[in-house]
Amino acid sequence: MRPKKKINQTDIARALGISNVSVSNALAGRKGVSTDLILKVRRTAAEMGYEMGKDEADGPPDRLLVVTPARWSADRAERFTKTVQEQGFQPEYYTLDEALSGACAQAERCPGILIPEPFPSEELLALWEKAGGPAVGAGFFDRRVPMDYVTDDGFHGAQAVVQYLRGKGYERILYVKPDADGSASWAEAAMREDRLLGYRSERYLETLHRGQIAEQAQPFDTEEEHVLTLRELRRCIRARAAEGKEPDGAGQDSAEQDSVKQDGEKPLRTAFFCGDMKTAYALLDMLTRKQIRVPEDAAVVGYRAGAEPCPQGRGPVTAYENDEKRLLEQCCAVLRNRRSRRETAEGVHLVSGEITEGGTA
Amino acid sequence: MKKQVTMREIAEALNTSAVTVSNAMAGKKGVGEELRRQVLEKAEELGYDFAETEKPAEEKVITLGIIASIQYMSEGSSFYWEMYQSTIDAAARRNVLTMLKMLNWDEEAFLSSLLSSKNETDGFIVIGRIGDELMKRILRSVKGPVVLLDFYRPGYRCDAVLSDNYTGAYRITGYLIDRGHRDIGFVGTGRTSRNVVERYYGFCRCMREHGLPVVREWLLEDRDLRTETPRIALPAKLPTAFVCSSDYSAGLLYNELTGRGLRVPEDLSLIGYDDYLYGNAFSEKLTSYHVDMPEMAKEAVQMVLRRIRAPRRPYDVRYVDSHITERMSVRSI
């Protein structure tokens, strides 16, 4: 068998459509190369099996302190480590207590701290103050602590879902939120709010485009129409079934029905947008039990945050998907920028996701 | 099949580096004429396939057309004039040339001038809002990528860079709440601006997070839509603070309040968005969310360049967050 061809910089250059010089500079992490490019080249190099030369690896990889509320499982740490290593960092894991007590001395080559799970504000602030160097929060945002954050874009992601469903001809789009059970962390609740408000904003903007707002007295919407919890939705479906009506979903807004042209007795095409996957799965189960077919009778679209895994035994669901890997890459880029004091946007860095079709819409 | 000759092999044959070979072939400065000649000769000798050499996009001097509506560009007083300055600056740092394409009322003439000068530009940056129909026509007909700056509508097949309306408004609302305010209003006309709508929802997000109601009568528009003139109608009962969707509306509100004998911040606190100083004396007092124009312009230029290199990338919309510039328009209560 022919021996495997050794990958060189030209191969990487060709693969990316850039010059050899750019690849060489990127691998060596030289100044003048955008961080974006460095990340892209290193990732491609790793994927292609490129062996870093002596003059390329910037000495031992930079330390990255990863601080979590509780100790992570080995599994979780391993997955995380792999992604972070591809960015040229070597992670070290600490719990919050260890970090605050100074167990991780900030050595010279440490570019900063990565916080992949939220803490209460006071603790985060304490950590930030102790750090004395760059820190980035991944997947959450606390406005009280002035560090960098990289999060998914729930607000615009939700807008994208509404646009997508409209594009597919769904005339009635309802938002389904989880039954309140108090189990969500403050950060998770905040991220869900983003999606709910994104949904509301897009509905409002649509009516703007349809020229309906001019008639209205109010410049902005303040009501939460078409937003239901699972429990409320279940009740509505049950009520409609009891009345002998087609179980095509809920939404009692008759004004909305009047304003949309109806084709005889055909019910409006209905879609349910669930702000999180747990609700989406629960809704799918409920609709199955009520013999409502998805997507024929109603569509279901979910929203998957970066680190949310796909549960065993569940089929694909059309959803706005976020990639944890992309989030982490951006975190590493932000830390690099901060460290070299390059100017970059401070505060929140949004990473967009995309809608992947799963057959439920 | 004959194995493809690589730059590395040429480099090894000449006892130089692959980087030098690449530079030599691309005709870059920094490689002496003699060495360059040797590289090309050796390449030919070894049978290097020149057709494969991709001339990196950085070599050609890129020219970007900057499209802006004349109404936004009155020199010295406009937010968008400043944005334009940031854009030329960001372009210059990347050795990119710019050409201003000012849009006045004659859209047809404008469009023809864009198309007739298509060989002069490699792409466009659009600053500020332009009409939907015209925008679509531009996107359909111009050569090269288009990036929108401070403006966007979904469905446009192009990239965009905006300030982070939602997060910014969330921050300034939080600033008020942290200082004890509970009765908070919002000023802005969402009907004419998607940016303002997003800021409204950022305001909502913060209010809801703190369990505070959004009171309808404290949602004020800053424009009379029939007459298209700036106008704020104050409600009978006032809140203790207003989140203003722009420094401009903050200025209008300030004038309205002072006209009634009310003082800022003693009687009412205001917080703005833009952190751009208008002609109003009040702007020196106004605490406001900063719009990072240099960063946005830098992003926009970068996005055009990236798309010139890779035209089929998926479209991207970037939101640039920033900080609050504290001045004296908010009182703690």
Q: What is the pLDDT along chain B (333 residues), one digit of tens a residue?
A: 445 677 778 888 888 887 788 778 777 767 787 888 888 888 878 877 665 444 444 567 899 999 998 877 765 557 888 899 999 999 999 999 999 998 888 888 898 888 888 788 999 999 988 888 899 999 998 889 999 999 998 889 999 999 999 999 999 999 999 999 999 999 998 887 889 999 999 999 999 999 999 999 999 999 887 787 888 999 999 999 999 999 999 999 999 999 999 999 999 999 999 998 776 788 889 999 999 999 999 999 999 999 998 888 889 999 999 999 999 999 999
Integer Cα distance of A259 and A2 in angstroms: 69
A222 vs B contacts (CB less than 8 Å): 214, 216, 219
Contact A208 B191 (CB under 8 A): yes
**With an 8 Å Cβ cutoff, are B22 and A19 in contact?**
yes
Cross-chain CB nearest to B56 (options A22, A34, A190): A22
CB of B190 closer than 8 Å to CB of B197? yes
Does B201 sit within 8 Å of A200, measured CB to CB? yes
- What architecture is the A1-59 domain classified under in CATH? Orthogonal Bundle (1.10)
CB contact under 8 A, B201 and A153: no
- Partner-chain contact B56 A344, CB within 8 Å: no
Q: Provide the pairing of β-strand B288-290 with B241-244.
A: unpaired
Task: Please give the C-alpha separations between residue A281 and each of A276, B84, B127, B162, in angstroms, as whole numbers.
Answer: 9, 48, 43, 35
Half-sphere exposure of B51 (CA within 13 A, CB side): 1
Answer for the pair B5, B48: CB distance below 8 angstroms, yes or no: yes
Chain B positions in Cβ-Cβ contact with residue A204 (cut-off 8 Å) = 190, 197
Closest Cβ–Cβ partner in A143, A219, A345 for B292: A345
> What are the CA-CA distances from residue A157 to residues A18, A167, A359, B106, B153 (Å)?
31, 15, 19, 37, 14
- pLDDT, one tens digit per residue, over B185-215 is 999 988 878 899 999 999 999 999 999 999 9
Non-local (6+) Cβ contacts of A255 within 8 A are none
Type of residue at B186? F
Considering chain A, tell me which residue range(s) the CATH 3.40.50.2300 domain(s) occupy: 154-322
ipTM for the complex shown? 0.80
Beta carbons of A349 and B321 less than 8 Å apart? yes
Residue from B152, B228, B232, B321 to probe the interface with A (highest A Cβ count within 10 Å): B321
Query: What does the alpha-carbon distance between residue B193 and residue A359 come to, in Å, rounded to a whole number?
Result: 35
Exposure letters A315-336 (e unless 16+ CB within 10 A, then b): eebbbbbbebebbbbbbbbbbb
Q: Which of A8, A19, A219 is closest, CB to CB, to B221?
A: A219
Instruction: Sort out which chain A residues have CB atoms less than 8 A from B219's CB and list them.
Output: 218-220, 222
Q: Do A219 and B314 touch (CB under 8 A)?
A: no
- Nearest CA distance, A350 vs chain B (angstrom): 7
CA of B116, closest CA in chain A: separation in Å?
30
Residue matched to tokens 């905040």: A190
Chain A residues near residue B186 by CB distance under 8 angstroms? 220
Give the DSSP H or E segment for A239.
helix A230-242
Q: Do B295 and A14 touch (CB under 8 A)?
A: no
**Which residues fall within 8 angstroms of residue A257, CB to CB, at 6 or more apart?**
A268
For residue B128, give Cα distances in angstroms to A155, A156, B115: 22, 20, 20
CB contact under 8 A, B316 and A352: yes
**Rg (alpha carbons) of chain B, rounded to whole number:** 26
User: Residues B148, B150, B151, CA angle at the centre, nearest 5°?
Assistant: 65
CATH architecture of the domain with range A154-322: 3-Layer(aba) Sandwich (3.40)
Of B189, B225, B321, the CB nearest to A348: B321
Per-residue pLDDT of chain A (361 residues; tens, 9 = 90+): 444 566 777 778 877 878 777 777 777 666 566 766 777 777 777 667 676 654 444 556 678 889 998 888 888 888 889 888 888 888 989 888 888 877 655 544 455 899 999 989 999 998 888 877 789 999 999 999 989 999 999 999 999 999 999 999 998 999 999 988 777 888 889 999 999 999 999 988 887 776 655 545 455 776 677 899 999 999 988 888 787 655 444 444 433 333 333 444 566 789 999 999 999 999 999 999 989 999 999 999 999 987 677 788 888 999 999 998 899 999 998 988 887 765 555 799 999 999 999 999 9
Residues 6+ apart with CB under 8 A from B301: B64, B87, B90, B91, B94, B96, B125
Instruction: Indicate yes or no: CB of B201 within 8 angstroms of CB of A198.
Output: yes
**According to the model, what pLDDT value does residue A8 have?**
76
Residues of B in contact with A22 (CB under 8 A): 56
The count of C-alpha atoms lying within 13 angstroms of the C-alpha of B166, restricted to the half-sphere facing its C-beta, is 22
- Residue A15's identity, in one-letter code, is A
| Contact yes or no for A143 and B171 at CB 8 A | yes
Q: In this complex, which of B18, B28, B164 lies closest to A10 when CB atoms are compared?
A: B18
Distance from CA of B201 to the nearest CA of A (A): 6
Q: Tell me whether residue B274 is exposed, middle or buried, using C-beta atoms within 10 angstroms of its C-beta: 0 to 12, 13 to 18, 19 or more.
A: buried
The upper half-sphere exposure of residue B191, i.e. CA atoms within 13 Å in the direction of its Cβ, equals 19
Which of B167, B219, B225 faces A347 most closely, judged by CB atoms? B167
Determine whether the interchain pair B194/A9 forms a contact, defined as Cβ–Cβ distance below 8 Å. no
- The residue of chain B nearest to residue A16, with distances taken between CA atoms, is B310
CA distance A9 to chain B (A): 9
Closest to B298 in 3D by CA, of B66, B79, B90, B65:
B90
Distance CA(A305)–CA(A153), nearest Å, equals 9
Alpha-carbon distances of B43 from A5, A213, A250, B9, B48, rounded to whole Å: 21, 68, 71, 9, 5
Domains defined along chain B, listed by start = 7-55 (1.10.260), 61-163+294-320 (3.40.50.2300), 165-291 (3.40.50.2300)
The tokens describing B178, both together, are 């942290």
Per the CB < 8 A criterion, the answer to whether B321 and B164 are in contact is yes
What pTM was estimated for this model as a whole?
0.81
Answer yes or no: are the C-beta atoms of A332 and A87 closer than 8 Å: yes
Under CATH, what is the fold of the domain A61-146? Rossmann fold (3.40.50)
In chain A, ranges of CATH 3.40.50.1980 domains: 61-146
